[in-house]
Structure 1
């Protein structure tokens, strides 16, 4: 589920069974590395075999949400078959847009205007209108975050058959928050394509996104989590010396409004399941919750934590910052636990926490 497949060598044109076999063997025994996968690449588990098409011209067509206008928008370009991000950056005048009405969707007259701007004539205008309006309707009906056809092509005409407008490759991304009302889409879900740690977090009701850094972050509240990541990155920059990269967050992890022992235990297992994590920062604001209760949960979870090698207890630096209701009692609990948890450090505020965890990791 990543772009850049062609340039990565994972779109092959074959003309014989032997070429098809060789191409399949290459794809199934190598990881695909593209600008969207990162250096680690993606393992290929399935192949799509399609009949070849003689192409006259390639186009790009997509429906997505414009965050600036807060409206759904159709995006089209006569520069299809390539990364649209590159086209938008280098030749933005080649990008054509049509804003969808929030109630009526994409209107036929809008699609016709786009078709004319793309250079379509004759029957291809009607074919484009049909494809674009159907795509816009599906985008809304299926709660998509993006619907993309790349390339949309005009095939070469033959004496027996005139050129046709065909969608050769399409990609639909769906809003996870709306999947509960789309059983047909849920049935297509392939867990092998997901990050195992993100799958585990979803099972525990945690919001987790893996990043590239070395400091695991466990926070309650999305806003506080973002601020925590920013300040870790800020204080970690001082360690970027002599060609060495600075210290940065390894993840976004929001345990939600609470921070029970069960949640913290599960969160620790996710954080330390990432081999890049060399230290953990826990940043909890106890609004309604009592900081003393939260501190006990953190200490118990860290003490009972089972490492991948089967040993118990936290082995990497663990910095905890608490703020809120009954915070002094919570800090006393953390201080008293230092004997049984030698890697534990209590922080007085967020700046102190970031400095301590970056210092321990760096």
Structure 2
């Protein structure tokens, strides 16, 4: 779950990370009132969208008085930034900046460790820094069992060549940022820029936070959940309890298990096609799940064919087959569908499907052949 900047700052604030005072508002008049309540100028009017490039798009403006707040808020609210409509603006006390840094924690799955990245070159996308000057990024890998101690933090700050005036503040914030990352069940916490003020204070000027949805039961995240941006497909999947990510291709994907779903996307690409989505129906095989999944894909104008790739484990093949057949009886599917069924009781499942095979429902024995057939069908309907 990706948070907006203002939510990320609220999240950071709960771990005592210093952030700028501000208010999130949805109207021009509320923007002016928020600036007045902050009782100091200049303030920054910042578009709240979950995409980069806000500044270049005109979504971040420095306002010196109430009239400028009104003008900028009028311009920014409703603005389209890379396909995202600005519905919320963050009115924030402006900060004096001496230097800008970058800091983040995320998971390095390959090394089974947490990864910390710190750079004296902040204020720009870290991908740009990594490409143009990779030595400018100091990295550390943290064993989740051992955690992160102060000595390691100080070595890390020194390795990143931060201004010595920033050392104490950076060590303090980075320690708190790691705590926020671990205790807050985040997949990513990023501050860009992390600033050094002329007064010597170190401060989080921006906040990018991605939370682990699987840990939601441990937290009160209802307010974050309520503001999530989803298109119609994603909203329908969310309401049905399906793990779904919309893509831009023409082959709709249904699989059981995230790993198999990801592999299916890769095989569709290998077969010369392009996946329209990631959709994991999980361990259940009931008709309701297949109805929900098939309805989402069938209503997607990008989708030209559907590939169902199931590997039975606890879920048995005949249950999957019966769920598919019942689902087809409840919806009028507009696109051809290819099923690959393997694993527990797969033979029984395939026997159940055989009498129903035809133009709408086709079956293949391997993942690659099923992907190739789905790609072929999508191409014929393009």
**2:334 is matched with which residue?**
315
Contact in 1 for aligned 2:197/2:203 (Cα 8 Å)? yes
Q: Which of 166, 187, 192 does residue 203 from structure 2 map onto?
A: 166
1:94-139, Cα deviation, whole Å (9 max, x unpaired): 11233445345332223333444434234x3222222121222222
1:253-294, Cα deviation, whole Å (9 max, x unpaired): 222233221111111122223221111112233455554443
**2:91 is matched with which residue?**
49
Mapped to 2, the partners of 1:112 and 1:229 lie a distance apart of 43
TM-score, reference length from structure 2: 0.77
CA separation of 1:351/1:98 partners in 2, compared to 1, >3 Å: closer, same or farther?
closer
Q: Which of 355, 359, 362 does residue 376 from structure 2 map onto?
A: 359
Higher relative contact order (CA 8 A, sep 6+): 2
State which drifts further: 138-147 or 186-195. 186-195
Over aligned residue pairs, what C-alpha RMSD do you find? 2.6
Q: Number of matched residues?
A: 329
CA separation of 1:181/1:214 partners in 2, compared to 1, >3 Å: closer, same or farther?
same
> Is 1:190 the equivalent of 2:226?
yes
Mapped to 1, the partners of 2:174 and 2:59 lie a distance apart of 28
TM-score, reference length from structure 1: 0.81
> Is 1:296 the equivalent of 2:289?
no
CA separation of 1:273/1:136 partners in 2, compared to 1, >3 Å: closer, same or farther?
same
Q: Which of 177, 194, 205 does residue 214 from structure 2 map onto?
A: 177
Q: Map residues 190-209 of structure 1 onto 2, 5 A cutoff.
A: 190-209=226-245
Mapped to 1, the partners of 2:99 and 2:350 lie a distance apart of 67
Contact in 2 for aligned 1:319/1:345 (Cα 8 Å)? yes
Mapped to 2, the partners of 1:134 and 1:68 lie a distance apart of 25
Mapped to 2, the partners of 1:216 and 1:320 lie a distance apart of 12
Q: Which of 212, 217, 239 does residue 253 from structure 2 map onto?
A: 217
**1:337 is matched with which residue?**
356
Q: Is the partner of 1:109 in helix, strand or coil?
A: helix
**2:27 is matched with which residue?**
none
Structure 1 unaligned segments of length 5 or more: list them.
34-40, 157-161, 238-246, 306-312
The offset of 1:328, in angstroms, is 5.5
Mapped to 1, the partners of 2:210 and 2:374 lie a distance apart of 37
Contact in 2 for aligned 1:58/1:151 (Cα 8 Å)? yes
Mapped to 1, the partners of 2:64 and 2:338 lie a distance apart of 60
The offset of 1:218, in angstroms, is 1.4
> Is 1:24 the equivalent of 2:73?
yes
**2:28 is matched with which residue?**
none
**1:271 is matched with which residue?**
297
CA separation of 1:333/1:133 partners in 2, compared to 1, >3 Å: closer, same or farther?
closer
The offset of 1:20, in angstroms, is 2.5
**1:13 is matched with which residue?**
62
CA separation of 1:263/1:147 partners in 2, compared to 1, >3 Å: closer, same or farther?
same
CA separation of 1:321/1:21 partners in 2, compared to 1, >3 Å: closer, same or farther?
same
